[in-house]
Chain A
Amino acid sequence: MSCKPKTDEKVLYKMKRIALALLICLTGASSAMGVTIEWWQFWTDSDIKPVIESMVTEFEEANPDIEVELRDLTWANGHEKIVISLASGSGPDVLELGSDWIAQFADKNQLADITEYIVDDSSEFQGWGMATYRDKVYAKPWILGTRVMFANRDLLDRAGHDEDFVPINFPDLVSSTQKVDALGDDIYGWGSNAPEKHRLYKKFLPFFWSYGGKIYSDDGKYVLLAAMPGIEGLRKYKWLHEHVGYVANQRGLEDAFLDGKIGYVISGDWLLKRIKKENRDIELTSMLIPGPKFPGFSFMGGEFLAINAASENKEAAMKLIDFITAPKNQVRFCKAAQAANPSSLTAQEDEYFTSNIHFQTFIKQIKLAKHPPVDPNWVKIEAAIEEAVEEALFGSGLVAEPLRKAALKVRQLKAE
């Protein structure tokens, strides 16, 4: 019982003797000359996987003493498998982790501290904040992600806007969404998220931040969730939701947007990919998320590469991570995945990004993007915030009260 290996071994040893004596246990065979490291990653699209495979092959050619075993995880259940394998003390050497998982694992001492390895890299890559927990770095940023605002150009034209009109601040957005919303019963100004785990708060936080809201104080000591600026942000978000919003889950919003029913929607680079893949006939403009006066902040997340604290081949693992996250390989990856936000600043300058007007929006936006606090309890904090937003939007109508309740909860959940 428990995770203590000794007890397990005793029980298992007996069971092995009694019950499994009949079985022939085939182990993975070959003992390689150098070291073998295992890498668990999530990208299995037929567009992307071959690129990952060829990068691994190149890495092995450049480092003949290292062999890499590439293993795929699914987006839906990958986190579970990582937890189970780490809990049993048998995880892989290199792990791809979503940004909101890093604190969770770092807090339990499951990830190797790579602070010393990455000193030289710190100015070349963006996103370290998400991988830093208690002043130590536990993962290297690979591919980041942010959300920008998309507008249906055709609807904007019909609403009487000039062809280069872009709402740069919230009042602009309000008047424009109203004009679009007035175009017809079946046309809405704004795509507003229905409650949906892990998605709703990502849409709300940009407004919260843009109006000056903070989840924690800068020194991380106090919870400021329910301070005035944040309440103001929620109020603005609610205005859109109530007056010009088409409410559906993220998928439903994107469907409706592509069908020409919605003027403005917040989405990520996957929407561009989808438009291309589905060959959609839609003329769209991408723009920075507007704040009170000028462009505001967006939400930032991303995929990171980390090393299992129990790995016996940390040096080799770090080499692999450095290779995969090298600017040139990030560009290759982004081209295959049609992703807009490499973590490498050099990669961001590549022609692939500079020649695409929408990617430019994404690159600009990620410089104006924030990430949620790095907290092992984040998933629970997130749930508390989502509940508050949900109540403010769909409940009694008050805005401050739900945020205040959430702030109390967050205070309890927050790591010391």
Chain B
Amino acid sequence: MVRRSSPLSVTLRYAASIIILGIMIFPLLWMFRVSLLGPGGIGFERLASTAITLGNYADLFTSSGMGRYLVNSSLVAAVVVGGNILFCFMVAYTLARYRSLSNKLLFISVILVLMIPVHIVIIPMYVLMVRTGMYDTYFALILPWLVNPIGVFLVKQYIESIPPSMEEAARIDGAGEFRILFQVVMPLCKPALAVLAIQVFFTNWNAFLFPFILTSSDELRTLPVGLALLQGHQAIDWQHLMAGSSIAVLPVLILFAFLQRQVVSGITAGAVKQ
């Protein structure tokens, strides 16, 4: 679909986009600028100066094990994202297309998990992990998070917005359930699955409380826990904390830049029809 845009509306759109961009990234530019400062204050004069050092980043890798945290976080995030794409899709499909009382209950259980404050479930969860021997292992970081309730809900809503005509057509053609599921519906869900992947990735990548409570050894430490350890007793070491935060943001940003095309280019015009 092509719509004509007047020069005025183009200008306006750019102006609006740029102003919003400024508001959105200013605090993070500050974060990045501080991460490049040498030791000392973080007042305006120093931020405005051109002096730049990568020393804070180097420190993180040499003396605080940032490399290990990155490996752990990446490993956990990769498994969790992979699992979620498959599992959330499966669960969401049945919730969207198989309407029955038991499925309603199932959906309620999904939402229920979202509604309980974590501080209440963390103690039984801890007990559970200790008693099953999963405490302080990768299992504790991965298994409970393989099906993200928000992800299930997101994909369910998306599938519900796709007309069921294509599945029915495929069914009439004699395609099996799984073929329909993975070869017809899944490709249609690409935008939602891309959002899901991004969301699960950054949620997991930034998760602090459960990893902190459910593991304790250095070898299993994830990035957010490592970052929390950088916050000192009485004073915040801004330079290193901001360097660590910048490192944490980068992989998610790259993944996003890569996947955002999927979000908006999944469906070719006319693929979905009445």
Contact = CB atoms under 8 A, between A and B. Distances in A.
Contacts, number: 89
B127 A88 contact: yes
A84 B126 contact: yes
Contacts of A26: 133, 137, 139
B213 A12 contact: no
Contact of A25 (B40, B134, B225, B235): B134
Interface string B117-146: 000001100111011111111010001000
A96 B228 CA distance: 18
A134 interface: no
A72 B213 contact: no
B123 A278 contact: no
A25 B132 contact: yes
Contacts of B134: 23, 25
A278 B132 CA distance: 47
Interface in A95-125: none
B41 A258 contact: yes
A40 B137 CA distance: 18
B233 A23 contact: no
A46 B64 contact: yes
A16 B132 contact: yes
Contacts of B122: 84
Nearest to B137: A26
A47 B122 CA distance: 32
Given A259-B43, A268-B234, A44 B126 contact: no
Contact of A87 (B123, B131, B217, B235): B123
Interface stretch (A73-81, A154-162, A371-379): A73-81
B212 interface: yes
Given A23-B143, A71-B217, A84-B123, A280 B229 contact: no
Given A44-B64, A45-B237, A251-B236, 6 more contacts: A25-B132, A26-B139, A28-B136, A46-B63, A81-B213, A90-B130
26 contacts: A12-B127, A12-B128, A20-B132, A25-B134, A25-B137, A25-B139, A26-B139, A28-B136, A42-B233, A44-B64, A44-B229, A71-B216, A74-B228, A74-B231, A75-B232, A77-B209, A81-B212, A88-B123, A254-B235, A268-B234, A270-B232, A270-B234, A278-B40, A279-B40, A280-B40, A280-B41
Interface of A: 8-9, 12, 15-16, 20, 23, 25-28, 40, 42, 44-46, 69, 71-72, 74-77, 80-81, 84-85, 87-88, 90, 251, 254, 258-259, 268, 270, 273-274, 277-280
